[in-house]
Amino acid sequence: MNFIKEFEEKVKNNIEEYNLANKKDKIMVACSGGKDSTATLYLLKKFGYNVEALIIDLLIGDWSDKSLENVKTFCKKYKIKLHVINMRKEFGSSICHIRSSVQSKTKLSDCAICGVIKRWLLNKKARELKAVKLATGHNLDDEVETILMNNFKGNPGLNINLGPKTGIVNSKKFIQRIKPLYFLTNKEIKKYSIAMKFPVMYEPCPCSKAAFRNDVRKFISDMEKQYPKIKINIIENFLRIRDDLRKSYKSDKKLKSCEICNEPSRKNICRRCELIQILK
Ligand code: SF4
Ligand SMILES: [Zn+2]
């Protein structure tokens, strides 16, 4: 089997084996203009799923402009409905402005702040657009890094939310996340994206200074030279113990509604609203 066929088969098998979606589900794909989310969108469409695309214009200068342009070109070519969320319209300012204001009062990293805002917006918009699944471009490398980061930081309980689809959250307001590229590596996706000539940017976001994640990535890549199957071994082991992990760490508490924005939250006030309060 050639590389493209093999790649696509792997994604298809993951969707079917983990029952990520069915053909009737409306799936919103969270796009960034990068290779992972573009491949996710392309393959879900190719396999006949009911997909639409959602992108947040983060207003990170030329990088955001180019990303948005790429997603628009792609969606036009493949006749996919695209929804654009504009940060200024939603939050009154760019993500860069929000980040620097929050960072003048806390030690939170760029990606931690941006991640909270993006998750909140994507969930809310996907729900408003009546999607029942939110597909992301997370791949095997992302997942291995997160599993190790949580373990290294002494927070293995955070791993219960990982896997090809989110599984423990019980709330009508929370849109289930699915990861069709779960078993594909960064390298494989890049090779696929180049072969498919997707209009994407391969440069990382200019704000991405995730020092800890970069250290963990380097650690894995060094180990991989000696133990080539390390990534898939970590994932397979994680999936084997995930149910037990979920039983051990599962909180009985159901998701609440944030007292300020009414969005799903584990605490009385959601993380996004906590950040907004810091700004005041
Ligand atoms: S790399 Fe970090 S700052 Fe850039 S878009 Fe992603 S989460 Fe946001
Ligand atoms: Zn809130």
The CATH code of the domain that includes 141 is 3.40.50.620
pLDDT of residue 97: 87
**CB 113 within 8 Å of CB 268:** no
Instruction: Please report the pLDDT score of residue 252 as a whole number.
Output: 57
Chain mean pLDDT for the chain:
93
Number of separate domains in the chain:
1
Residue-level pLDDT at 107: 84
Helix (DSSP H) and strand (DSSP E) numbers for the chain: 11, 7
Helix or strand holding residue 31 (H, E): strand 26-31
Task: Give residue 95 CA to ligand 1 midpoint distance, Å.
Answer: 9
Residue whose tokens read 């590389």:
3
Model confidence over 159-168: pLDDT tens digits? 998 999 986 6
Does the pLDDT at position 143 exceed 90? Answer: yes
- Residue whose structure tokens are 């849109």: 175
Query: What value does the mean pLDDT take over residues 19-47?
Result: 97
Quick check: CB of 248 below 6 Å from ligand 1? no
If you take atom 3 of ligand 1, which residue's CA is the nearest one?
111
Closest ligand by atom to 263 CA: 2
205 lines ligand 1 (CB under 6 A): yes
Q: 115 alpha carbon to ligand 1 midpoint, in Å? A: 7
Q: For the segment 148-196, what is each residue's pLDDT rounded down to a tens digit?
A: 999 999 999 999 989 999 866 668 899 999 999 999 999 999 999 999 9
| Residue 183 belongs to domain spanning | 3-279
- Cα separation, 97 vs 56, in Å, equals 15
- pLDDT tens digits for range 79-136: 999 999 999 999 888 898 888 888 888 888 888 899 999 999 999 999 999 999 999 9
What average pLDDT does the segment 63-72 reach?
A: 96
Q: 235 near 144, Cβ under 8 Å?
A: yes
Distance 164 CA to ligand 2 centre (A): 26
Name which residue sits closest to atom 6 of ligand 1, judged by CA.
Answer: 111
Q: Is there a contact between 51 and 71 (Cβ–Cβ < 8 Å)?
A: no
Give the pLDDT confidence score for residue 4 in this predicted structure: 97
Residue 33 has pLDDT above 90, yes or no: yes
- Mean pLDDT computed over 220-241: 96
Q: Whose CA is nearest to atom 7 of ligand 1?
A: 111
pTM of the shown model: 0.94
Residue 253: its pLDDT value, please? 58
